Amino acid sequence: MHYKRILLKLSGEALMGERQYGIDPKRLAEYAEEIKSVVDHGIELAIVIGGGNIFRGVSGASRGMDRVQGDHMGMLATVINGLALQSALEDAEIQTRLQSAIKINEVAEPFIRRKAIRHLEKGRVVIFGGGTGNPYFTTDSAAVLRAIEINADVILKGTRVDGIYNADPEKDKKATKFDFISFEDVIKKGLKVMDTTAFTLSQENELPIVVFDMNTPGNLLRVVTGENIGTKVNL
């Protein structure tokens, strides 16, 4: 296998499927099958999921809500998504643990680095909820932080587009896709891969990022086995 231990970053919006908000059980089941195909190959997999399908702290703040309160609501939204994904994975007979950066012991383990690594070594999928546990940090930052902490080989960012383009492919039909791009070029070209804090943290720790289309069946396994799917960002 091309990678031994990966961190998969999913947006909360990805769980909406065809809906306008909330969680689509059909999409959850599809993702569970994709994840199962990777786990069945013996790859260690951790997941960070956003909460934008339920609540975004930034959008709450823009409407006059206290930013810290809003971000705490967003963290709780990621735990809700984590519980939903955990349920779908367990329906697919995948052993799963949900760890939260904020204490919510009745529904999730607290995040403990050594325990998370032990779960991965035992073949369990670990879902990290609650972001970083701090306001003003996105789930992109949480994904990079957790990936570094568990010594992941790569961050796989599953999106609805098939990689990084020089313009928005949904708006510009002439947009060109990159197969490979350096961290430096992403910054120079002003491309939006992750927020600046997350991206810089990934760059400083020499942690590659692969942006790919998670909604195409089989893509996750193709990326993990080394096929040239999506866009790889590295040094």
Q: Is 139 annotated as a binding residue?
A: yes
Q: Is 218 annotated as a binding residue?
A: no
Q: Is 110 annotated as a binding residue?
A: no
Q: Is the pLDDT of residue 193 over 70?
A: yes
Q: Is 200 annotated as a binding residue?
A: no
Helix/strand/coil for 174: coil
What average pLDDT does range 211-222 have in this prediction?
95
According to the model, what pLDDT value does residue 168 have? 85
Mean pLDDT of the chain: 94
Q: Is 26 annotated as a binding residue?
A: no
According to the model, what pLDDT value does residue 41 have? 94
What average pLDDT does range 192-200 have in this prediction?
91
Which pair of structure tokens corresponds to residue 98? 């949900």
Gap between the terminal Cα atoms of the chain: 21
> 186 with 233: CB under 8 angstroms?
yes
Q: Is 137 annotated as a binding residue?
A: yes
> 8 with 146: CB under 8 angstroms?
no
Alpha-carbon distances of 110 from 8, 63, 79, 85, 224, rounded to whole Å: 20, 32, 12, 17, 28
According to the model, what pLDDT value does residue 173 have? 86
The residue among 1 and 154 whose pLDDT is bigger is 154
Residues 141-189: tens digit of each pLDDT? 999 999 999 999 999 999 988 999 998 888 888 899 999 999 999 999 9
What is the set of domains in the chain, with CATH numbers? 5-234 (3.40.1160.10)
Report H helices in 92-138: 113-121
What average pLDDT does range 74-102 have in this prediction?
97
Q: Is 12 annotated as a binding residue?
A: yes
Which pair of structure tokens corresponds to residue 40? 């069945």
The residue among 198 and 17 whose pLDDT is bigger is 198
What average pLDDT does range 207-216 have in this prediction?
96
Name the phi and psi angles at 34, rounded to 5. -60, -45
Alpha-carbon distances of 191 from 58, 147, 165, 212, 234, rounded to whole Å: 21, 22, 8, 15, 14
According to the model, what pLDDT value does residue 169 have? 84
Q: How far is CA 215 from the centre of its chain?
A: 14
Q: Is 9 annotated as a binding residue?
A: yes
Q: How confident is the model at residue 201 (pLDDT cuts 50, 70, 90)?
A: very high
d(CA 146, CA 205): 12
Q: Is 136 annotated as a binding residue?
A: yes
Q: Is 5 annotated as a binding residue?
A: no
Q: Is 225 annotated as a binding residue?
A: no
d(CA 185, CA 235): 10
Q: Is the pLDDT of residue 1 over 90?
A: no
Helix/strand/coil for 24: coil
Q: How confident is the model at residue 17 (pLDDT cuts 50, 70, 90)?
A: confident
What average pLDDT does range 81-103 have in this prediction?
97
According to the model, what pLDDT value does residue 42 have? 95
Residues 54-80: tens digit of each pLDDT? 987 677 667 788 999 999 999 999 999
Q: Is 56 annotated as a binding residue?
A: yes
